[in-house]
Amino acid sequence: MGVATLPAAAGFTAPQLPDAGALRTPALVIDFDRVERNITATLDLLNGDADRWRPHLKTAKLALTMRRLMARGVTRAKCATALELETACRAGFTDVVFAYPAHGPHVAAVRRIAGEHPGAAISALVEDEGMVEPWRGGPVSLFIDLNSGMDRTGMPVDRHDDVLALARTIRGAGLRFAGLHMYDGHAYGMAAGEREGMIRAGYDRLSALVERLRSAGVEVPEVITAGTPAFPHAVGYSRLQEAGVVHRLSPGTVVYNDAKSLEQLPRDAGYGPAVFVLSRVVSHPLATRFTCDAGHKSVSADAGVPTCAVAGHPEYTPRQPSEEHLPMDVPAGTPLPPRGELLWLVPMHVCPTVNNFDQAVIVSGGAMQGVERVTARGRHGPLEQSRTP
């Protein structure tokens, strides 16, 4: 696991919550005033056009957050699990893309959910003609998934004839060809200047593919791109829209934000961390080290070390976590925080961190508003009859 530099989010302030001491730690805390500001910041970058935003719900997870998005005019989304899809439909989204390669019983689960929610337009992804047949005769539309260079899923974007053949196969099966999906998540690890050039070049290739399909008589109803790292650069790309193509962007992390995303988003856009893990100091093993109760079963370690920053304490350096322990170092001569003291941690990667918790404490106006279930946490059971009710 690599070691990252301490994120700038260490300088952010924690929520004002006088009764925080009553909470068992580690606890997931969502500041809904900040959620609202993050939604506003995203819509501002989109010039107020909520219809251009198709957020990935792997971050939001809570039905409460999904309903807040819809209250702001965001009615379309995408997701990666059948439980997220079911939660989104029950929350009221009218258009949801199941943005994950579906095989075997996953196809049946998506088809079932689509049948149970006839008022919602449900779509899935395919990358090969053999993936089309299981969807035949059902209500689910199909996007073609494209490989942007991340080399994780999808068809190479430059294989125009193969993409054209797949679009025709979809239509030949009596299914709606919904458009093209291209996730450029590898922008995450790039420097800002390199990121912008890569994204624009990739979208130019995508635009060329759209032109090829159109010239062959296949219209492209929608193009979906851009997670959070690509979003600031994708929002100004106009070639697809100028050609009359609906180009929707799918950043999801921006709803809550984390230490990494806040380094990649415009500093003056109004974004801030809305999710914290409240932790307690539990031990003083060394003169320059203390330990808190937020190991990798609380704050996800998938983005490397440090796993988080401590709001208001840039002098604290998180080290390699274990399952329930997170050691932190301080400079020589710096007093250790007392045992039992509360720390507000800003995750390096918020999406899997939210997924670590069954419940979230909701804060607004400087007060605790209640506790909400992390509705779409985890997955359905391995058998259809064992799915979450």
Summarised one tens digit per residue, pLDDT across range 345-362 is 999 999 999 999 999 999
Is pLDDT above 90 for 13? no
Is pLDDT above 80 for 7? no
- CA distance linking residue 306 with residue 317, whole number of Å: 7
Where in the chain are all domains bearing CATH 2.40.37.20? Answer: 8-28+269-373
Is pLDDT above 60 for 363? yes
Name the least confident of 41-45, 194-198, 276-280, 345-349. 194-198
30: left (phi over 0), alpha (psi -120 to 50) or beta: beta
CA 344 to chain centre: 21
Q: pLDDT class for 12, splitting at 50, 70, 90?
A: confident
pLDDT digit string (tens) for 227-280?
A: 998 999 999 999 999 999 999 999 999 999 999 999 889 999 999 999 999 999
To the question of domain 8-28+269-373 being in CATH 2.40.37.20, the answer is yes
Cβ(219)–Cβ(246) below 8 Å: no
Cβ(372)–Cβ(360) below 8 Å: yes
Name the least confident of 111-125, 193-207, 262-276, 339-353. 193-207
At residue 6, the pLDDT reads 47
Q: What is the pTM of this model?
A: 0.94
CATH superfamily of 54-250: Alanine racemase (3.20.20.10)
At residue 196, the pLDDT reads 82
At residue 198, the pLDDT reads 85
- CA distance linking residue 65 with residue 91, whole number of Å: 9
At residue 43, the pLDDT reads 98
What DSSP letter does each residue of 45-62 carry, written as one string?
Answer: HTTT-GGGB--BHHHH-S
Cross-strand bridge partners of residue 31: 363
Q: pLDDT class for 187, splitting at 50, 70, 90?
A: low
- CA distance linking residue 108 with residue 104, whole number of Å: 7
Where in the chain are all domains bearing CATH 3.20.20.10? Answer: 54-250
